[in-house]
Amino acid sequence: NAGVTQTPKFQVLKTGQSMTLQCAQDMNHNSMYWYRQDPGMGLRLIYYSASEGTTDKGEVPNGYNVSRLNKREFSLRLESAAPSQTSVYFCATQERGKEGYTFGSGTRLTVV
C-alpha cells in the first residue's frame, strides 16, 4: 500500500523552464492538496481539490496551476519557474473534512 506517491523526488530547473509535479494516491480519499515548505515559513497551501472535478486556490497560488486528473491524481504545474519557487513541495490527501492529512514524501525543487 503506497499511500501518496510524489514524482520526481528531486528536480533542478533553470529560470523560465516549466515542469509538472505528479501526485497519486491509492487510499480513495476525496480531497487532495499541494503545499510548499520553506525554512521559517512552515507549510503554505498552494492549491487544493475538495473532490474530483474541483480545484481552488490556497494561500500562495501565483505562478502555479493544478489539474485534478481523476480521483487518484492531482498534478501541480510551474509554467515558468522562478528562483522564488525553490522549495520542498508536498502533496497531501484527506478522507473527509477535518480528518488528518496523509502526506507524500515530497519533491525537492531548485530553480537556478
Partner 1 sequence: TQLLEQSPQFLSIQEGENLTVYCNSSSVFSSLQWYRQEPGEGPVLLVTVVTGGEVKKLKRLTFQFGDARKDSSLHITAAQPGDTGLYLCAGFSSGGSYIPTFGRGTSLIVHP
Chain residues binding partner 1 by CB under 8 A are 4, 31, 33, 40-43, 45, 48, 50, 58, 90, 92, 94, 96-98, 100-106
In the complex with partner 1, which residue's Cβ is closer, 53 or 100? 100
Among residues 74 and 90, whose Cβ is nearest to partner 1? Answer: 90
CB count in 10 Å sphere of residue 51: 11
In whole angstroms, the minimum distance from the beta carbon of 80 to partner 1 comes to: 27
DSSP-derived 3-state class of residue 101 = coil
Phi, psi at 75, each rounded to 5°: -110, 155
Query: How many whole angstroms separate alpha carbon 32 and alpha carbon 25?
Result: 9
Among candidate residues 2, 1, 40, the one with its CA nearest the CA of residue 22: 2
DSSP state of 83: G
Nearer to partner 1, 19 or 43 (CB): 43
Comparing CB distances to partner 1, the nearer of 37 and 75 is: 37
Least spacing, CB of residue 39 vs partner 1, in Å: 10
